[in-house]
Protein backbone atom coordinates (compact mmCIF):
# COMPACT_ATOMS: atom_id res chain seq x y z
CA UNK A 1 0.00 0.00 0.00
CA UNK A 2 1.44 3.34 -1.09
CA UNK A 3 1.38 5.94 1.65
CA UNK A 4 3.20 8.68 -0.24
CA UNK A 5 1.15 11.86 -0.11
CA UNK A 6 -0.24 13.74 -3.08
CA UNK A 7 0.73 17.36 -3.59
CA UNK A 8 -2.70 18.41 -2.31
CA UNK A 9 -2.47 16.24 0.81
CA UNK A 10 0.98 17.60 1.62
CA UNK A 11 -0.28 21.16 1.11
CA UNK A 12 -3.19 20.52 3.50
CA UNK A 13 -0.82 19.15 6.14
CA UNK A 14 1.60 22.07 5.72
CA UNK A 15 -1.20 24.65 5.87
CA UNK A 16 -2.68 23.02 8.96
CA UNK A 17 0.71 23.04 10.71
CA UNK A 18 1.26 26.72 9.90
CA UNK A 19 -2.19 27.78 11.07
CA UNK A 20 -1.78 25.66 14.19
CA UNK A 21 1.59 27.19 14.99
CA UNK A 22 0.59 30.78 14.20
CA UNK A 23 -2.96 30.92 15.56
CA UNK A 24 -3.88 27.88 17.67
CA UNK A 25 -0.78 27.34 19.80
CA UNK A 26 -0.61 30.91 21.18
CA UNK A 27 -4.11 30.61 22.71
CA UNK A 28 -4.08 26.91 23.70
CA UNK A 29 -3.07 27.57 27.31
CA UNK A 30 -5.67 30.33 27.64
CA UNK A 31 -8.38 27.97 26.36
CA UNK A 32 -7.18 25.30 28.79
CA UNK A 33 -7.77 27.77 31.63
CA UNK A 34 -11.38 28.27 30.52
CA UNK A 35 -10.91 31.60 28.74
CA UNK A 36 -10.44 32.68 25.13
CA UNK A 37 -13.83 31.77 23.62
CA UNK A 38 -13.62 34.72 21.20
CA UNK A 39 -10.19 33.58 20.03
CA UNK A 40 -11.48 30.03 19.57
CA UNK A 41 -14.41 31.19 17.44
CA UNK A 42 -12.11 33.42 15.40
CA UNK A 43 -9.79 30.49 14.77
CA UNK A 44 -12.71 28.27 13.76
CA UNK A 45 -13.77 30.91 11.22
CA UNK A 46 -10.20 31.07 9.91
CA UNK A 47 -10.07 27.29 9.58
CA UNK A 48 -13.37 27.33 7.69
CA UNK A 49 -12.04 30.02 5.34
CA UNK A 50 -9.07 27.75 4.63
CA UNK A 51 -11.23 24.72 3.86
CA UNK A 52 -10.82 22.72 7.06
CA UNK A 53 -14.52 22.41 7.95
CA UNK A 54 -15.39 20.38 4.85
CA UNK A 55 -12.30 18.34 4.13
CA UNK A 56 -14.22 15.38 2.71
CA UNK A 57 -17.19 17.37 1.36
CA UNK A 58 -17.86 17.99 -2.31
CA UNK A 59 -16.73 21.29 -3.81
CA UNK A 60 -20.34 21.74 -4.95
CA UNK A 61 -21.14 22.57 -1.32
CA UNK A 62 -17.99 24.53 -0.55
CA UNK A 63 -15.95 21.53 0.57
CA UNK A 64 -12.28 20.83 -0.05
CA UNK A 65 -12.62 17.26 -1.40
CA UNK A 66 -9.35 16.42 0.35
CA UNK A 67 -10.48 12.90 1.25
CA UNK A 68 -9.99 11.02 4.48
CA UNK A 69 -6.19 10.94 4.27
CA UNK A 70 -6.14 14.73 3.99
CA UNK A 71 -8.58 14.96 6.88
CA UNK A 72 -6.38 12.72 9.06
CA UNK A 73 -3.26 14.74 8.30
CA UNK A 74 -5.05 18.00 9.08
CA UNK A 75 -6.48 16.84 12.41
CA UNK A 76 -3.10 15.47 13.50
CA UNK A 77 -1.41 18.80 12.72
CA UNK A 78 -4.08 20.87 14.49
CA UNK A 79 -4.19 18.63 17.56
CA UNK A 80 -0.47 19.05 18.17
CA UNK A 81 -1.10 22.72 18.90
CA UNK A 82 -4.61 22.70 20.36
CA UNK A 83 -6.62 19.54 20.94
CA UNK A 84 -9.70 21.57 21.89
CA UNK A 85 -9.80 23.19 18.47
CA UNK A 86 -8.93 19.96 16.68
CA UNK A 87 -11.83 18.03 18.20
CA UNK A 88 -14.24 20.76 17.09
CA UNK A 89 -12.88 20.46 13.55
CA UNK A 90 -13.09 16.66 13.66
CA UNK A 91 -16.70 16.55 14.84
CA UNK A 92 -17.81 19.31 12.45
CA UNK A 93 -16.32 17.37 9.56
CA UNK A 94 -18.17 14.30 10.82
CA UNK A 95 -21.45 16.24 10.74
CA UNK A 96 -20.71 17.42 7.19
CA UNK A 97 -19.97 13.88 6.04
CA UNK A 98 -23.18 12.42 7.43
CA UNK A 99 -25.24 15.13 5.72
CA UNK A 100 -23.43 14.49 2.45
CA UNK A 101 -23.87 10.72 2.80
CA UNK A 102 -27.58 10.50 3.65
CA UNK A 103 -29.07 14.00 3.42
CA UNK A 104 -31.54 15.00 0.73
CA UNK A 105 -30.45 17.34 -2.06
CA UNK A 106 -32.29 20.16 -0.30
CA UNK A 107 -30.56 19.42 3.02
CA UNK A 108 -27.14 19.32 1.39
CA UNK A 109 -27.70 22.58 -0.48
CA UNK A 110 -29.03 24.34 2.61
CA UNK A 111 -26.71 23.14 5.36
CA UNK A 112 -23.37 22.04 3.93
CA UNK A 113 -22.28 25.50 2.69
CA UNK A 114 -23.09 26.94 6.13
CA UNK A 115 -20.76 24.39 7.73
CA UNK A 116 -17.96 24.72 5.22
CA UNK A 117 -17.90 28.53 5.05
CA UNK A 118 -18.06 29.09 8.83
CA UNK A 119 -21.61 30.48 8.98
CA UNK A 120 -22.07 27.75 11.56
CA UNK A 121 -18.98 27.89 13.83
CA UNK A 122 -19.33 24.14 14.33
CA UNK A 123 -21.63 21.16 13.97
CA UNK A 124 -22.94 19.01 16.83
CA UNK A 125 -23.37 15.21 16.90
CA UNK A 126 -26.22 14.36 19.30
CA UNK A 127 -26.09 10.61 19.92
CA UNK A 128 -24.93 9.87 23.49
CA UNK A 129 -27.36 9.83 26.39
CA UNK A 130 -27.01 9.16 30.12
CA UNK A 131 -28.16 5.55 29.67
CA UNK A 132 -26.92 5.14 26.09
CA UNK A 133 -23.18 5.64 25.76
CA UNK A 134 -21.36 2.59 24.45
CA UNK A 135 -24.80 1.20 23.54
CA UNK A 136 -26.52 4.03 21.61
CA UNK A 137 -29.34 1.67 20.61
CA UNK A 138 -30.63 2.07 24.19
CA UNK A 139 -31.42 5.77 23.68
CA UNK A 140 -34.63 7.22 25.18
CA UNK A 141 -35.01 10.49 23.24
CA UNK A 142 -38.32 10.31 21.34
CA UNK A 143 -39.48 11.83 18.07
CA UNK A 144 -43.28 11.70 17.92
CA UNK A 145 -44.94 12.22 14.52
CA UNK A 146 -47.46 15.05 14.54
CA UNK A 147 -48.84 15.69 11.06
CA UNK A 148 -46.03 17.14 8.94
CA UNK A 149 -43.79 17.55 11.99
CA UNK A 150 -41.96 15.58 14.63
CA UNK A 151 -41.83 16.60 18.28
CA UNK A 152 -38.54 15.80 20.01
CA UNK A 153 -38.29 15.15 23.74
CA UNK A 154 -35.25 13.90 25.60
CA UNK A 155 -31.69 14.74 26.58
CA UNK A 156 -28.31 14.16 24.98
CA UNK A 157 -25.11 14.11 27.00
CA UNK A 158 -21.47 15.14 26.45
CA UNK A 159 -22.14 16.95 23.17
CA UNK A 160 -18.98 18.53 21.75
CA UNK A 161 -19.25 22.19 20.65
CA UNK A 162 -22.89 22.41 21.78
CA UNK A 163 -22.59 26.02 22.97
CA UNK A 164 -21.54 27.35 19.56
CA UNK A 165 -22.74 24.70 17.10
CA UNK A 166 -25.12 26.07 14.51
CA UNK A 167 -26.56 22.71 13.52
CA UNK A 168 -27.07 19.36 15.24
CA UNK A 169 -27.47 15.86 13.86
CA UNK A 170 -29.88 14.24 16.32
CA UNK A 171 -30.88 10.62 16.78
CA UNK A 172 -34.24 9.77 18.35
CA UNK A 173 -36.61 6.82 18.70
CA UNK A 174 -39.44 6.98 16.16
CA UNK A 175 -40.82 3.47 16.73
CA UNK A 176 -40.59 2.43 20.41
CA UNK A 177 -42.16 -0.96 19.61
CA UNK A 178 -39.47 -1.95 17.11
CA UNK A 179 -36.64 -4.32 18.10
CA UNK A 180 -33.75 -2.59 19.82
CA UNK A 181 -31.85 -0.37 17.39
CA UNK A 182 -34.44 -0.78 14.63
CA UNK A 183 -36.78 2.11 15.49
CA UNK A 184 -34.31 5.02 15.53
CA UNK A 185 -34.27 7.89 13.05
CA UNK A 186 -31.85 10.71 12.29
CA UNK A 187 -32.75 14.42 12.11
CA UNK A 188 -31.16 17.79 11.40
CA UNK A 189 -32.01 20.44 13.98
CA UNK A 190 -30.79 24.04 13.82
CA UNK A 191 -29.48 25.53 17.05
CA UNK A 192 -32.10 28.27 17.24
CA UNK A 193 -35.06 25.87 17.01
CA UNK A 194 -37.53 26.51 19.87
CA UNK A 195 -37.39 23.69 22.39
CA UNK A 196 -33.69 22.95 21.82
CA UNK A 197 -31.97 23.97 25.04
CA UNK A 198 -28.22 23.94 25.68
CA UNK A 199 -27.74 22.61 29.19
CA UNK A 200 -24.91 22.84 31.67
CA UNK A 201 -21.31 22.89 30.56
CA UNK A 202 -19.27 19.96 31.83
CA UNK A 203 -16.15 20.68 33.89
CA UNK A 204 -13.61 18.40 32.29
CA UNK A 205 -10.18 17.03 33.06
CA UNK A 206 -8.78 17.98 29.65
CA UNK A 207 -9.66 19.60 26.32
CA UNK A 208 -11.30 22.26 28.46
CA UNK A 209 -11.31 24.80 25.63
CA UNK A 210 -13.85 22.70 23.77
CA UNK A 211 -17.39 23.16 25.07
CA UNK A 212 -19.11 19.94 26.16
CA UNK A 213 -22.74 20.26 27.18
CA UNK A 214 -26.00 18.49 27.76
CA UNK A 215 -28.50 19.22 24.97
CA UNK A 216 -32.18 19.08 25.94
CA UNK A 217 -35.19 18.69 23.66
CA UNK A 218 -38.34 20.01 25.26
CA UNK A 219 -41.32 19.69 22.89
CA UNK A 220 -38.93 20.67 20.12
CA UNK A 221 -41.03 20.80 16.95
CA UNK A 222 -39.22 20.17 13.66
CA UNK A 223 -40.58 19.63 10.13
CA UNK A 224 -40.78 16.07 8.84
CA UNK A 225 -38.36 17.18 6.11
CA UNK A 226 -35.68 17.46 8.82
CA UNK A 227 -35.33 13.67 8.83
CA UNK A 228 -32.22 12.31 7.09
CA UNK A 229 -32.45 8.96 5.38
CA UNK A 230 -35.37 6.60 5.83
CA UNK A 231 -37.52 6.51 8.94
CA UNK A 232 -36.30 3.98 11.54
CA UNK A 233 -33.00 3.56 9.65
CA UNK A 234 -30.99 5.96 11.78
CA UNK A 235 -29.01 3.46 13.83
CA UNK A 236 -27.20 2.20 10.73
CA UNK A 237 -26.29 5.78 9.89
CA UNK A 238 -24.83 6.31 13.38
CA UNK A 239 -22.74 3.15 13.26
CA UNK A 240 -21.34 4.04 9.84
CA UNK A 241 -20.46 7.61 10.77
CA UNK A 242 -18.86 6.63 14.09
CA UNK A 243 -16.41 4.46 12.17
CA UNK A 244 -15.27 7.48 10.16
CA UNK A 245 -15.12 9.63 13.28
CA UNK A 246 -12.71 7.18 14.86
CA UNK A 247 -10.13 7.99 12.20
CA UNK A 248 -10.38 11.61 13.31
CA UNK A 249 -9.89 10.81 16.99
CA UNK A 250 -6.99 8.48 16.22
CA UNK A 251 -5.35 11.32 14.30
CA UNK A 252 -6.05 13.72 17.15
CA UNK A 253 -4.42 11.34 19.65
CA UNK A 254 -1.40 11.00 17.38
CA UNK A 255 -1.07 14.78 17.07
CA UNK A 256 -1.06 15.29 20.84
CA UNK A 257 1.38 12.43 21.38
CA UNK A 258 3.76 13.64 18.68
CA UNK A 259 3.87 17.13 20.14
CA UNK A 260 4.52 15.77 23.62
CA UNK A 261 7.39 13.62 22.39
CA UNK A 262 8.90 16.57 20.50
CA UNK A 263 8.96 18.49 23.77
CA UNK A 264 10.44 15.55 25.67
CA UNK A 265 13.24 14.97 23.17
CA UNK A 266 14.14 18.66 23.07
CA UNK A 267 14.25 18.86 26.87
CA UNK A 268 16.60 15.93 27.43
CA UNK A 269 19.01 17.24 24.81
CA UNK A 270 19.37 20.46 26.80
CA UNK A 271 19.09 19.19 30.40
CA UNK A 272 22.26 17.85 32.03
CA UNK A 273 22.66 15.53 35.01
CA UNK A 274 25.75 13.66 36.24
CA UNK A 275 27.87 15.86 33.98
CA UNK A 276 26.24 14.93 30.65
CA UNK A 277 23.01 15.54 28.69
CA UNK A 278 20.09 13.33 29.66
CA UNK A 279 19.83 12.37 25.97
CA UNK A 280 23.09 10.38 26.33
CA UNK A 281 21.52 8.01 28.85
CA UNK A 282 20.54 4.66 27.41
CA UNK A 283 17.50 4.22 29.64
CA UNK A 284 15.92 7.38 28.28
CA UNK A 285 16.94 6.52 24.72
CA UNK A 286 15.08 3.22 24.98
CA UNK A 287 11.98 4.97 26.30
CA UNK A 288 12.05 7.24 23.27
CA UNK A 289 12.66 4.36 20.87
CA UNK A 290 9.62 2.47 22.17
CA UNK A 291 7.31 5.48 22.00
CA UNK A 292 8.46 6.54 18.54
CA UNK A 293 7.94 3.01 17.22
CA UNK A 294 4.42 2.94 18.64
CA UNK A 295 3.55 6.33 17.17
CA UNK A 296 4.82 5.30 13.75
CA UNK A 297 2.72 2.14 13.96
CA UNK A 298 -0.29 4.28 14.92
CA UNK A 299 0.33 6.54 11.92
CA UNK A 300 0.37 3.57 9.55
CA UNK A 301 -2.85 2.16 11.02
CA UNK A 302 -4.53 5.56 10.59
CA UNK A 303 -3.38 5.89 6.99
CA UNK A 304 -4.52 2.35 6.24
CA UNK A 305 -8.01 3.05 7.59
CA UNK A 306 -8.19 6.39 5.78
CA UNK A 307 -7.03 4.85 2.50
CA UNK A 308 -9.60 2.06 2.75
CA UNK A 309 -12.35 4.60 3.40
CA UNK A 310 -11.27 6.77 0.46
CA UNK A 311 -11.23 3.74 -1.85
CA UNK A 312 -14.76 2.72 -0.85
CA UNK A 313 -13.64 -0.51 0.84
CA UNK A 314 -14.80 -1.80 4.27
CA UNK A 315 -12.86 0.16 6.88
CA UNK A 316 -14.69 -0.24 10.19
CA UNK A 317 -12.25 -2.77 11.68
CA UNK A 318 -9.25 -0.78 10.45
CA UNK A 319 -10.68 2.42 11.96
CA UNK A 320 -11.24 0.70 15.30
CA UNK A 321 -7.70 -0.71 15.23
CA UNK A 322 -6.30 2.74 14.47
CA UNK A 323 -8.36 4.43 17.17
CA UNK A 324 -7.54 1.77 19.78
CA UNK A 325 -3.82 1.71 19.10
CA UNK A 326 -3.31 5.45 18.59
CA UNK A 327 -5.26 6.48 21.67
CA UNK A 328 -3.53 3.93 23.91
CA UNK A 329 -0.13 4.86 22.44
CA UNK A 330 -0.90 8.51 23.19
CA UNK A 331 -1.34 7.69 26.88
CA UNK A 332 2.13 6.16 27.02
CA UNK A 333 3.72 8.87 24.90
CA UNK A 334 2.36 11.81 26.89
CA UNK A 335 3.32 10.22 30.21
CA UNK A 336 6.77 9.31 28.88
CA UNK A 337 7.31 12.87 27.68
CA UNK A 338 6.21 14.17 31.08
CA UNK A 339 8.58 11.73 32.79
CA UNK A 340 11.46 12.88 30.60
CA UNK A 341 10.90 16.38 31.99
CA UNK A 342 11.15 15.11 35.56
CA UNK A 343 9.61 17.46 38.09
CA UNK A 344 9.32 20.19 35.45
CA UNK A 345 6.78 18.08 33.58
CA UNK A 346 4.42 18.30 36.53
CA UNK A 347 4.54 22.09 36.56
CA UNK A 348 2.03 24.09 34.57
CA UNK A 349 4.81 26.31 33.19
CA UNK A 350 5.40 23.43 30.78
CA UNK A 351 2.59 22.05 28.56
CA UNK A 352 3.27 18.38 29.34
CA UNK A 353 0.55 18.02 31.94
CA UNK A 354 -1.94 19.54 29.45
CA UNK A 355 -0.92 17.09 26.76
CA UNK A 356 -1.44 14.20 29.19
CA UNK A 357 -4.89 15.47 30.21
CA UNK A 358 -5.92 16.19 26.62
CA UNK A 359 -4.86 12.74 25.45
CA UNK A 360 -6.73 10.87 28.17
CA UNK A 361 -10.20 11.32 26.66
CA UNK A 362 -9.15 9.81 23.32
CA UNK A 363 -9.49 6.32 24.81
CA UNK A 364 -13.10 7.14 25.75
CA UNK A 365 -14.97 9.31 23.25
CA UNK A 366 -16.04 8.06 19.82
CA UNK A 367 -16.13 4.61 21.44
CA UNK A 368 -14.00 3.44 24.36
CA UNK A 369 -10.94 1.25 23.90
CA UNK A 370 -13.00 -1.64 25.25
CA UNK A 371 -15.68 -1.09 22.60
CA UNK A 372 -13.01 -0.95 19.89
CA UNK A 373 -11.75 -4.35 21.04
CA UNK A 374 -15.28 -5.72 20.80
CA UNK A 375 -15.68 -4.40 17.25
CA UNK A 376 -12.30 -5.78 16.17
CA UNK A 377 -12.91 -9.18 17.75
CA UNK A 378 -16.38 -9.54 16.24
CA UNK A 379 -15.07 -8.67 12.79
CA UNK A 380 -12.21 -11.14 13.12
CA UNK A 381 -14.44 -13.94 14.38
CA UNK A 382 -17.04 -13.29 11.69
CA UNK A 383 -14.41 -14.09 9.08
CA UNK A 384 -13.73 -17.54 10.53
Catalytic residues: 366
Q: Convert 224-266 into a string of H (helix), E (strand) and C (coil).
A: HHHEECCCCCHHHHHHHHHHHHHHHHHHHHHHHHHHHHHHHHH
Tell which residue, 293, 289, 266, 290, has the closest CA to residue 278: 266
179 DSSP assignment: P
- CA gap 99, 102 in Å, rounded: 6
Residue 177: how many CA atoms within 13 Å on its side-chain side?
1
Backbone angles phi, psi at 187, to 5 degrees: -130, 155
Packing angle, helices 83-102 and 234-270, rounded to 10: 150
Q: What angle (nearest 5°) sits at the alpha carbon of residue 371, between those of residues 188 and 155?
A: 35
5 DSSP assignment: P
How far, CA to CA in Å, does 275 sit from each of 162, 234, 281, 285, 307?
Answer: 53, 64, 11, 17, 48
Give the DSSP H/E element, type plus range, for residue 349: none
Backbone angles phi, psi at 18, to 5 degrees: -70, -45
Residue 89: how many CA atoms within 13 Å on its side-chain side?
36
Give the DSSP H/E element, type plus range, for residue 176: none
Packing angle, helices 37-49 and 83-102, rounded to 10: 50
- CA gap 299, 320 in Å, rounded: 13
Per-residue burial over 266-304, b = 16 or more CB atoms within 10 Å of its CB, e = otherwise: ebbeeeeeeeeebbeeeebeebbeebeebbeebbebbbb
Tell which residue, 42, 43, 92, 22, has the closest CA to residue 63: 92
Helices within 33-160 (DSSP H only): 37-49, 67-81, 83-102, 105-116
Amino acid sequence: MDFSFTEEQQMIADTARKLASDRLEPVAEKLDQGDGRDELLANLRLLAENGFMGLNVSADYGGTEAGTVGFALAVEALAGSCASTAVTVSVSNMVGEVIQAVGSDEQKELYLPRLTDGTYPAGGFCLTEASAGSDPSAMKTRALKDGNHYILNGAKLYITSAEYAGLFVVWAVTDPDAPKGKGISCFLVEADTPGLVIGKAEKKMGQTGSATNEVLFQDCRIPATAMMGAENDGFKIAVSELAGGRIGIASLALGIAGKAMEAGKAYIKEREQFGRPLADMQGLQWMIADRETELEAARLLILQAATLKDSGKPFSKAASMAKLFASEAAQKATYTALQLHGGAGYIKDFPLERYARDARITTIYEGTSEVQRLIIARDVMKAI
